[in-house]
Amino acid sequence: MSGENNPWWKGGITPLNTILRTSAELRNWRREVFKRDDYTCQYCHEKSEKGHSIILNAHHIKSWADFPKERYNLENGIALCYDCHKYVHRIDILSQQ
């Protein structure tokens, strides 16, 4: 049961942000950022290796919301481990206060 046949169908009203954030273009951008940065956090230099894995995030240097034209620009991305990514966003929030 998909589309109009699904009882939860709401007429194809998927929010634009959901469509963009699940797009092939964003997945490709993310993969290219990781590849360019050699799957290594660019802050703490942690890298996934045999027996040691880290969670990497592709971070937008210029924010996704404020710079829509830069969303898929490879130069606007940086690979960060989970902890460094949280730290970068925390610094951003504190600097705005």
pLDDT in tens, 12-57: 777 777 888 889 999 999 999 999 999 999 999 999 888 888 999 9
Distance in Å from the first CA to the final CA of the chain:
48
Task: Identify the bridge partners of residue 79 per DSSP, sorted by sequence position.
Answer: 58
pLDDT (tens digit per residue) in 56-90: 999 999 998 899 999 999 999 999 999 999 999 88
Encoded amino acid at 24, one letter: A
Dihedral of alpha carbons 12, 16, 21, 25, sign: positive
Do 42 and 78 contact (CB within 8 A), yes or no?
Answer: yes
- Sorted by sequence, the CB contacts under 8 Å of residue 61 that are 6+ apart come out as 76, 77, 78
* Predicted local confidence at residue 73, as pLDDT: 97
pTM over 0.75: yes
> Using CA atoms, how far apart are residues 76 and 48, in angstroms rounded to an integer?
23
